[in-house]
């Protein structure tokens, strides 16, 4: 009786599962035990990519070049004896395309602040492979622990404006798993909000009271003048 082919093992022998454009990767497919000759077929999402015959117990090596987004996804291989029906499938390996991040945008709900006020800063990179890690800076000094976002949403920090030195220039930096690329945001500055004088509301109130008195006095004049005029007749 011929020996039955076993489920092959698909392994990555060159490259990584997180890939970038124009990267080469090599996959190994081997069925052990198995009696050669064995035909190995590589599939991507159930679509045949390549096939190799092995007359010995060496693995079939498939080299791929990631040239477009359609080259990433799930891969499997199939082992079968030549001129036979059926066959068995391997485990799957999934490639993920790494995309460089776009320049992050640093913003705040308010651009004016005063001493003693709490403010927020948010940093967001619209494009790029997740997760994305953000760092916030004031000048060249890091002002917060790094924030790693697993979802496409902004990283937010809270600041307390304690002195005039807190009105400096802020920036943030974003990076992901794409190799050797990090990008800095636009600069953001808080401006000092003009504080209204405590005496200003009092002055306004006194002015309104004086205006009401003048109007009341003007309305009362006829009531005094009419009796005097009649008495003089």
Task: Tell me the three-class secondary structure of 80-105, residue by residue.
Answer: EECCCCCCEECCCEEEEECCCCCCCE
CATH assignment at residue 45: 2.60.40.10
Residue-level pLDDT at 196: 57
Which of 128-132, 133-137, 213-217 is predicted with the least confidence, judged by mean pLDDT? 213-217
Per-residue pLDDT tens over the stretch 53-82: 998 889 999 999 999 989 999 999 999 987
Residues 147 and 114 in one domain: yes
| Residue that terminates a domain, selected from 97, 119, 142 | 97
Higher pLDDT, 217 or 185: 185
Whether 93 and 115 map to the same domain: the answer is no
Q: Is the dihedral of CA 206, 209, 215, 221 positive or negative?
A: negative
For residues 147-172, give the mean pLDDT.
Answer: 94
Q: Quickly state the pLDDT bin for 29 (edges 50, 70, 90).
A: very high
What local confidence, expressed as pLDDT, does residue 210 receive? 81
Give the model's pLDDT for residue 209. Answer: 85
Going from the C-alpha of 160 to that of each of 66, 107, 124, 171, the distances in angstroms are: 48, 16, 21, 16
- Say yes or no to pLDDT of 175 above 60: yes
CB atoms inside a 10 Å sphere around CB 196: 8
> Looking at the structure, do residues 160 and 184 belong to the same domain, yes or no?
yes
Domain residues for 84? 9-97
Do 115 and 88 share a domain, yes or no? no
Q: For residues 77 and 120, state if they share a domain.
A: no
pLDDT above 90 for 94: yes
Q: What's the domain count of the chain?
A: 2
What integer pLDDT is reported at residue 156 of this predicted model? 97
Residue 133: its pLDDT value, please? 97
Give the other-Cβ count within 10 Å of 8's Cβ: 27
Query: Residue 34 pLDDT more than 80?
Result: no
Task: Give CA–CA dist 145/126, Å, rounded.
Answer: 21
Instruction: Single out the residue of 59, 25, 22 nearest to residue 40, CA to CA.
Output: 59
My answer on whether 148 and 174 are in the same domain is yes
Pick from 196, 169, 191: nearest CA to 112: 191
Q: 118 in helix, strand or coil?
A: strand
């Amino acid at each position: 009786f011929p020996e039955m082919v076993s489920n092959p093992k698909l392994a990555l022998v060159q490259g990584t599962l997180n890939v970038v454009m124009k990267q080469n990767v090599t996959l190994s497919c081997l069925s052990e035990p198995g009696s050669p000759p064995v035909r190995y077929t590589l599939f991507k999402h159930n679509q045949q990519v390549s096939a190799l015959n092995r007359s010995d117990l060496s693995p079939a090596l498939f080299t791929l070049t990631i040239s477009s987004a359609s080259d990433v996804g799930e891969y499997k291989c199939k082992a079968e004896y030549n001129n036979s029906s059926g066959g068995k499938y391997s485990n799957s390996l999934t490639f993920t395309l790494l995309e460089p991040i776009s320049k992050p945008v640093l913003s705040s709900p308010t651009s004016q602040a005063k001493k003693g006020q709490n403010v927020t800063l948010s940093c967001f990179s619209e494009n790029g492979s997740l997760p994305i890690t953000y760092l916030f800076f004031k000048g060249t000094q890091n002002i917060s622990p790094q924030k790693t976002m697993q979802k496409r949403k902004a990283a937010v920090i809270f600041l307390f404006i304690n002195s005039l030195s807190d009105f400096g220039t802020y920036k943030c930096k974003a990076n992901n798993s794409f190799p050797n690329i990090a990008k800095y945001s636009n600069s953001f500055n808080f401006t000092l909000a003009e504080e209204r004088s405590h005496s200003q509301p009092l002055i306004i109130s006194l002015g309104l009271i004086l205006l009401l008195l003048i109007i009341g006095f003007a309305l009362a004049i006829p009531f005094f003048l009419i009796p005097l005029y009649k008495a003089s007749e």
